[in-house]
Structure 1
Amino acid sequence: MDAPTPGTRRARWIVGLVLLTFLAGCSQTRLAYRYADWGVVWWVEDYISLTGEQEAQLSQDLEALRQWHCSAELPRYQQWMAVLKSDLEEGTPSEATVLFHQEQLMDFLPELLERATPVAINLLSSLSDEQVAQLADNMADKQQELEQEMLEGTPAQTAQARSERTIERIERWLGDLNQQQRAIVENWSANRGRQTEIWLTGRRNWQLALLDTLERRRQSGFAEQVNELLVHSERARGAEYQAMLADSRVAMAGLMHDLLQAGDTRHQDHLLARASELKGDFAALTCS
C-alpha cells in the first residue's frame, strides 16, 4: 500500500514510529523511540511555522502521551511480536495466520488515535489564519508533487512503480527476493488496479475536510470534528477509498503468504532475525 497522508501522521505519530519506522527496519529502535520527537514535530514543522508557545505546548503534550504509550502499549507490542515469532518458527504461516497478525497490528491503532487526538486538537485550535493558509498551500504543493510522481505515465508504468516500492519495503524483512518472488509482487501490483489513484484522491479528500474543519476552529464542536477526522479518517476519504482499503488488506496478507511460500530458508531466517531484533528492542525500551 502507499504511504499514509501527512495529515493522518499528525495523529498517527506513534503508529508511524512504532509500526512504520520499526517495521521498515530501523536498527536504532530504542534511540528512535526516545528521541525522534514522536513523529509529530517534524511533520508540523515541515508544513507550518510554529510559534515558541505552540512548540512548548506541543512538547508538553507529546511527553505526556509518550509516557502513556511507553508504559501501556509497548508491552502489548512485545506480546504480539512474541506470538508472531513463535508462528514463524513453526514454518511458513498460512494466509489466515498472516491476516490474523495483520489485524492484530491494526488493532493497536484505535486507542492510539483516541489518545493522540487531544494533542492535535490543542495544536490545531491554536493556529492563526496565516498558519492555516500556510498549511493549505504546503499540503496542496505536496499533493501535486505526489500526483505527478506516482501517476505520471501509463497504468502499466504506475503498476511497475508500485511494484518497485513494494519490493523495496519487503526486502527489508525478507532480504533479496528471488525471481519467483519478484514475479509474484509484479503480478500483485498489476492487479491493484487504480489503488494509487484512489489513495491519492482519498488523501486530497481528507485534507480538504481538515481545512474545512479548521475554518470552524473557534466554534463549538471543533474537538468532535477533529476527533472524527483522525479516529475515523477513512470516512472523509470516501467510499471508494474504504473499499480499496478493505480489499488491499486481504490482498497484502495473501501477498506475504505467497512470498514466504516461494522463498527458501534464507528468507525465513532473515525474517526471524528481524523479528527477534524487534522483539528485543521492545523488551529493552523503558519509559525514562
Structure 2
Amino acid sequence: MQIRQTLGCKPFLLLVALTLIIAGCSRINLAYRNLDTLIPWWIDDYLDLDRAQEKRFRAQLRDHLSWHCQTQLPVYLDIIGQLQHQVRRDEINEATLRTHYQHAKQAIQAITEEITPTTTQLLRDLDDAQVRTLNEALEKDRRERAEKYLQPPLDQQIRERAERMGERVEHWLGTISAAQRQRILVWAHSLGEHNRLWLDNRVQWQHALSAAVAQRHEVGFDDRIARLLQGGEAFWTAEYRAAFDRIEQAALDLASDLYAMSDTDQRSHFDSQLENVRKDLGSLACLPE
C-alpha cells in the first residue's frame, strides 16, 4: 500500500530526481521511453535553460537514468517480490510496512545523493535572469498551493485529504468498504492542520534554497546545496519537526489497519497491481543480465 507524502516529499521538484520519480510512479516503462516529452515539461515549470545548459542536462540525465536502471531497479524488483510473497502468506502488518517504508526512504536518499552534483552544477550556472525565473516559479508554486490547501476551511481540508487518500488506496486495493472509508476519515481528522504545517515547512525550505542560489558563486555553495538536498530535515520548521513522528506513525497505522480490514478480492487486487509494477520494471532493456 502506498504511503505517500502525507509525510512530505522533497519540497523542491528537482529536475533530475523528479524525472526519475515519475519514471517509477506510474507506467514506468512508458516514462523511460518518453523522456523527451517529460523533461521539457518540468524544465519549463522551474527553469529557463539555454541551449548549452539543456544539452548538458540531457547528457547527465541519460547517465543518471542508466545508473538508476542498472543499480537501483534490480533492488526495487527484489523488494516488490518480497512484498508479493508477504501478501500471499498474509504477513503484512505494521512492522513489515515500516520496513518497506524505510526501503522507500533509502531509495529516495540514494537518488538524491546521485543527482546532487548535477543539480548543484545546474544551479551554479544560472544567470541572474534564470534565478529570477526560478524564484518567480517558486513564488507561483507557493501561491497556488496556499490557494488549494489553505484557503478552504479546515473541515473542507480534512474532507479533501480523506478523498485524496481514498483514491490512492483504491488504486492499490480496488473498491474500499464503508469501514475502510471511515478509517481514512479518522486518519484525516487526526492530522488536523497538517496542510499549514506542511506548507510552512515547504516555504522555509524554498527560502533556504533561494538564499543559497543567490550566493551560488561563493565558497561553500556545493556544501549548502548538498545539505539542502540530502539533509533537508535541518531546514524544517520547529512545528513540523515536532509533529513529524506522529504524522509518520499515523500513516503507517492507517496502512496497517486498512490492510487488516481488506478482503480476499482487495488483497488479490493489491497483488495484481504489484505484479503490474514488477512487469513494467522487469521489461526495461537497461537492466543487467
**Structure 1 residues without counterparts, runs of 5 or longer:** none
State how 1:48-87 maps to structure 2 within 5 Å: 48-87=47-86
- Bigger RCO (CA 8 Å, 6+ sep): 2
Q: CA offsets, 1:214-266, max 9 Å, x none?
A: 11111121111111111112222323323433332222111111111222111
Change (3 A) 1:57 1:16: same
Change (3 A) 1:54 1:205: same
Q: CA deviation at 1:282?
A: 1.9
User: Which residue of structure 2 aligns with residue 13 of structure 1?
Assistant: 18
User: Which residue of structure 2 aligns with residue 271 of structure 1?
Assistant: 270
State how 1:17-166 maps to structure 2 within 5 Å: 17-19=22-24, 21=25, 26=26, 28-36=27-35, 41-91=40-90, 93-166=92-165
Q: CA deviation at 1:40?
A: 5.7
The code of the aligned residue for 1:168 comes to E
Q: CA deviation at 1:127?
A: 0.7
Work out whether residues 98 and 253 of structure 1, in 8 Å CA contact, stay in contact via their aligned partners in 2: yes
The TM-score with structure 2 as length reference comes to 0.91
The code of the aligned residue for 1:126 comes to D
Q: Secondary structure of the equivalent of 1:185?
A: helix
**Structure 2 residues without counterparts, runs of 5 or longer:** none
Change (3 A) 1:45 1:151: same
Q: CA offsets, 1:11-62, max 9 Å, x none?
A: 632662255x2xxxx2x32121343359664322212221101100110111
The code of the aligned residue for 1:16 comes to I
Q: CA deviation at 1:268?
A: 0.6
% identical aligned pairs: 28
Structure 1 consecutive aligned stretches of length 4 or more whose deviation exceeds 4 Å: 37-41
How far, CA to CA, are the matches of 1:254 and 1:36 in structure 2? 36
Change (3 A) 1:40 1:250: farther
Q: CA deviation at 1:169?
A: 1.4
Work out whether residues 14 and 39 of structure 1, in 8 Å CA contact, stay in contact via their aligned partners in 2: yes
Q: Pairwise CA RMSD of aligned residues? A: 2.0
User: Which residue of structure 1 aligns with residue 254 of structure 2?
Assistant: 255
Change (3 A) 1:242 1:15: farther
How far, CA to CA, are the matches of 1:29 and 1:251 in structure 2? 29
Q: CA deviation at 1:92?
A: 5.7
